[in-house]
Structure 1
Amino acid sequence: MKRRNVVFKEQPGHQVVLFPQRIGDRIPEDHPVRLVDRVVDELNIDRILATYKGGGTSSYHPRMLLKVLFYAYLNNIYSCRRIARALEENIHFIWLSGGSTPDFRTINDFRSRRLKNQIQDLFAELVRLLNRLG
């Protein structure tokens, strides 16, 4: 039996940079994560911002956390632990969060305390914005 000369693509498993310098280059322009990013940038979050007192340690920006939550919900991910894991493993979540990795407690606290009595209004505004964009 004659063996063919098989050539495999190189697998640089221990390279210094796992992703390209611009992670966004790996995400198509028409990907839903870009729509979530753009639409949440237009939401009025003044009521959420008013829940922050200032002082103490710095906080993750509420707009970033909203983007992450809305994108997670779009992908049927509701568990704070699963969202936190996606922020470390999923290229779309990494791009959307700018590489930030809030833990599951931070995500849960934001969702349960900061968004309390506001999530319905934010979803309604989100739907109106999406409708306006067609």
Structure 2
Amino acid sequence: MDCVFCRLIGEDTAHWVAREAEACAFAPLDPLAPGHTLVVPTSHYAGVFDTPPDVLARSMTLVQRVATAMRTTLGATGVNILSASGPGSEQSVPHLHFHVVPRWADDGISTWPTGVSSHRPTADPLTHLADALR
């Protein structure tokens, strides 16, 4: 199997925000906003349809923790959570993943999910998130 997320997890080469036994969070290659984070199960599941309920629950718990950290440490006033599963969904990587994107009222994203935030933090948002999730 040639899964980019499995490779990142196995080779420990991602910009980590959090690592847990069943789920992890890391920076995407092309973030939509400062602090944009991907949450994925550590084991390979193609999508929501084949992920065991307990793994899905643990992944969503990490999604919630990341979202909460975005609000408390980055001052985000909201988040967008996006996941696509299956060939008809335009899923970019066939490994279940959730995009957790911090949002601010004045971030300039008018065409979700294709816009890019104009919000500019003063410090590295991923470091702040990682510190908050420890």
Of structures 1 and 2, the one with the larger relative CO (CA 8 A, separation 6+) is 2
Question: Which structure features the higher share of helix residues?
Answer: 1
TM-score by length of 1: 0.31
Question: Which structure features the higher share of strand residues?
Answer: 2
TM-score by length of 2: 0.31
